[in-house]
């Protein structure tokens, strides 16, 4: 209601955009309350920037006409100190990977604080000792974390001018200890127990060999032609260093390929920790495709990561034929397995007799579009 004497019996609309309630004359009214997307500043409603956990801005600039600009940012974002595009200085930009807080020019920020488990080195965040795979003992006091002792059969490159995130497997089969400057550029120092060492004229180990035993009670399925090592392994074992070793696994997946260029596609590849395929052990990342090599039926022994999401586990897969779940799968903390085999038309059987169906409770559309 205006205070103008001639119009006190008529209600007029507030003349400010975004104003809910105001007072004063028809031509000069002052806002008392604004819409949620506006901020009240000295009797005026000015557009506010987006704030909250789901937005990048933590607080907005309170200066009239600039309230659509961020003043401070949430974690993982920063306001550039300089950019050729003025607009980019007004909104929060994303920090580099693993940065909790950062600062600097647009597209060239420096980390000032890292997320838990990462170390701050020269404005970047690098993984600490826990992120060095197959490492037994580590030192993170220098420029980069380095592994001082790897697990048996692995080595950490001696080139310390680069950050390595893993110990690499010794390239010589049957080798217990090795060293080298770069990945896959190593030499063996000592063979595993039970292996025979073959040395060259400079006393460098060039071969580690072991006798092969075939039979249902043994792990070897066949012996190598070149030596007495195992050439292939029985089901449930994989070949390493001339030996057939057992690995813990959660699922056996049987596949069939029709041509020599056939591939196995594992849809939820990020959940796979390692896999034994065609007698070989794979633990690299990303884990998306494995070359079958030739037509035929193959078995993959798969170990999954803990606490992963398992919808679409083997979805849209034309090659998969049979699946067997094992008891280990029940300990993974799984409760979502929707569309697990969605659109896998050649699937013949899934053995879930060992699966805890009370714990793994969600199986919506599990076999949808399957024959």
Sign of the alpha-carbon dihedral angle for 316, 322, 327, 328 = negative
Instruction: Look at residue 371 and tell me if it is in a domain.
Output: no
pTM greater than 0.75: no
What is the Cα gyration radius of the chain?
32
The residues, any chain, with a CB within 8 Å of residue 355's CB and separated by 6 or more, are 325, 329, 330
Domain limits for position 234: 210-246
86 and 116: one domain? yes
79 and 158: one domain? no
72 and 95: one domain? yes
- The separation between the first and the last C-alpha atoms of the chain, rounded to the nearest angstrom, is 72
- Mean pLDDT for the stretch of residues 18-25: 85
Contact by Cβ (8 Å): 212, 229: yes
Distance of CA 242 to the CA centre of its chain: 32
- Mean pLDDT for the stretch of residues 64-92: 75
Catalogue the long-range contacts made by 18-21 (C-beta closer than 8 Å, 24 or more residues apart).
Answer: 18/45, 18/46, 18/47, 19/45
Residues in the chain: 371
197 and 216: one domain? no
Contact by Cβ (8 Å): 371, 347: yes
pLDDT of amino acid 320 = 84
Question: For the chain, how many structural domains are there in total?
Answer: 5
Q: How far apart are CA 206 and CA 183, in angstroms?
A: 18
Instruction: Look at residue 52 and tell me if it is in a domain.
Output: no
| pLDDT per position as a tens digit, 107-133 | 889 999 999 888 998 898 988 888 888
pLDDT at 344 over 90: no
| pLDDT per position as a tens digit, 158-208 | 887 788 888 988 888 788 999 988 766 788 999 888 777 878 777 888 877
Query: DSSP labels for 213-251?
Result: -BSTTSSEEEE-SSSSSEEEE-TTEEEETTEEEE---SE
The residues, any chain, with a CB within 8 Å of residue 260's CB and separated by 6 or more, are 292, 293, 294, 295
108 and 25: one domain? no
279 and 232: one domain? no
63 and 34: one domain? no
Residue identified by tokens 């070359």 is: 291
196 and 220: one domain? no
| pLDDT per position as a tens digit, 292-321 | 567 788 888 888 877 666 677 777 778 888
Instruction: Look at residue 160 and tell me if it is in a domain.
Output: yes
- Given pLDDT bands bounded at 50, 70 and 90, which one contains residue 215? low
Among 316, 319, 305, 308, smallest CA distance to 267 is for 316
Instruction: Look at residue 356 and tell me if it is in a domain.
Output: no
- Mean pLDDT for the stretch of residues 29-34: 86
Instruction: Look at residue 364 and tell me if it is in a domain.
Output: no
The residues, any chain, with a CB within 8 Å of residue 191's CB and separated by 6 or more, are 174, 175, 176, 197, 205, 208
139 and 81: one domain? no
- Given pLDDT bands bounded at 50, 70 and 90, which one contains residue 340? confident
pLDDT of amino acid 20 = 87
User: What percent of the chain lies above the pLDDT cut of 70?
Assistant: 73
Q: How far apart are CA 244 and CA 371, in angstroms?
A: 37
257 and 287: one domain? yes
- Mean pLDDT for the stretch of residues 267-295: 63
């Amino acid at each position: 209601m205006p205070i103008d004497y001639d119009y006190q019996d008529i209600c007029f609309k507030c003349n400010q955009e975004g104003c809910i309630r105001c007072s004063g004359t028809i031509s000069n009214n002052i806002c008392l309350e604004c819409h949620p997307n506006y901020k009240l500043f000295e009797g005026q409603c000015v557009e506010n920037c987006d704030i909250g956990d789901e937005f990048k801005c933590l607080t907005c600039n309170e200066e009239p006409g600039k309230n659509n600009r961020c003043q401070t940012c949430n974690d993982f974002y920063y306001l550039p100190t300089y950019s050729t595009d003025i607009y980019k200085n007004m909104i929060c930009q994303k920090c580099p990977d693993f940065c909790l807080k950062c600062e600097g020019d647009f597209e060239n920020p420096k980390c000032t604080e890292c997320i838990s488990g990462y170390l701050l080195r020269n404005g970047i965040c690098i993984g600490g000792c826990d992120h060095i795979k197959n490492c037994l003992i580590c030192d993170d006091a220098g420029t980069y974390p380095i592994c001082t002792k790897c697990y048996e059969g692995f080595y950490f490159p001696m080139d310390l001018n680069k950050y390595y995130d893993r110990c690499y497997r010794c390239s010589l089969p049957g080798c217990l200890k090795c060293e080298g400057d770069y990945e896959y550029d190593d030499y063996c120092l000592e063979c595993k127990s039970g292996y025979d060492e073959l040395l060259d004229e400079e006393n460098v180990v060039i071969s580690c060999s072991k006798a092969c035993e075939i039979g249902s009670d043994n792990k070897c399925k066949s012996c190598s032609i070149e030596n007495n090592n195992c050439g292939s392994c029985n089901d449930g074992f994989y070949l390493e260093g001339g030996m057939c070793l057992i690995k813990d696994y959660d699922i056996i997946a049987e596949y069939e390929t029709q041509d020599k260029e056939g591939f196995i596609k594992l849809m939820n590849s990020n959940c796979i920790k390692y896999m034994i395929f065609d007698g070989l052990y794979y633990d690299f990342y990303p884990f998306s495709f494995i070359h079958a090599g030739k037509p035929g039926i193959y078995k993959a022994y798969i170990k999954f990561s803990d606490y992963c999401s398992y919808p679409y586990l083997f979805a849209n897969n034309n090659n998969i034929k049979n699946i067997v779940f094992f008891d280990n799968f029940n300990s993974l903390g799984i409760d979502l397995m929707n569309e697990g085999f969605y659109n896998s038309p050649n699937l013949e059987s899934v053995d879930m007799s060992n699966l805890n169906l009370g714990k793994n409770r969600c199986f919506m559309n599990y076999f949808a579009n399957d024959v």
